[in-house]
Amino acid sequence: MFELIDLFSITATGLEPLVIPAIIAAGTIQVVSTIQQGRAAKAQGRAQAEIAARNALLAERQAEEQRVAAVAAALKQEREGKALKGRQRALFAKSGVELRGTPLSVIVETAQNLEADRLTILREGAIRAGTSQAQADIFRAQGVSAKARGRAKKRASILSAVGTGLSTVGSVGVAQSEGFRAFRSKG
């Protein structure tokens, strides 16, 4: 960007007519550039929010897949457990053992272990799904934050552009005043 001091030194070279247009051009370029930066920041925030939303959707899908997989694994384990309990009973019956005392305790303990395994499968699936859902929530929050940052940067760029515009107007006034003083001192 142009330095206003350098532009003022032009008056000593006799190029006074160029000072004010140069100041205005420099100020205009800076205002437009600042506004464009704000628009770009807002667009970037919007893009980051869209990416975060997609990531959140993927994490939610993953959570649902983990829930479904856990239920399927629990059902498979339950079917296998029923088959195991059936084989135990058949073996006890084939051997002529009555289902009392130790044989009954073995069957009950097997049933308890199988149910504990089934519940563990469901619990671990729920934990994995909960972790994925939490990640989805984090992605959504990041998206909202990115969008808000983009809007805030755009507002800040507009304020900065207004400040630059006002500064340019002031510089033009100073340049006109300097030119007027130089004109009076020559006359």
User: Is the pLDDT score of 17 beyond 70?
Assistant: no
CA distance 14 to 75: 93
The count of other CB atoms within 10 Å of the CB of residue 1 is 9
Average pLDDT value over all residues in the chain: 85
* 136: nearest Cα among 79, 64, 32, 39: 64
User: What are the b/e assignments for 38-71, b being 16+ CB within 10 Å?
Assistant: beebbeebeebbeebbebbeebbebbeebbeebe
> Residue 102's pLDDT is what?
87
Spatial contact of 125 and 67, defined as CB atoms under 8 Å apart: yes
Tally of domains in the chain: 1
> Residue 2's pLDDT is what?
45
> Residue 84's pLDDT is what?
93
CA distance 34 to 165: 11
CA distance from start to end of the chain: 34
- pLDDT digits over 65-109, tens only? 999 999 999 999 999 999 999 999 898 889 888 888 888 899 999
8-state DSSP, 96? T
- Domain region containing 147: 4-186
Q: What is the pLDDT averaged over residues 18-27?
A: 79
> Residue 185's pLDDT is what?
63
Q: What is the pLDDT averaged over residues 167-173?
A: 82
> Residue 1's pLDDT is what?
43
Q: What is the pLDDT averaged over residues 22-28?
A: 83
- pLDDT digits over 100-158, tens only? 888 889 999 999 999 999 999 999 999 999 999 999 999 999 999 999 999 898 888 88
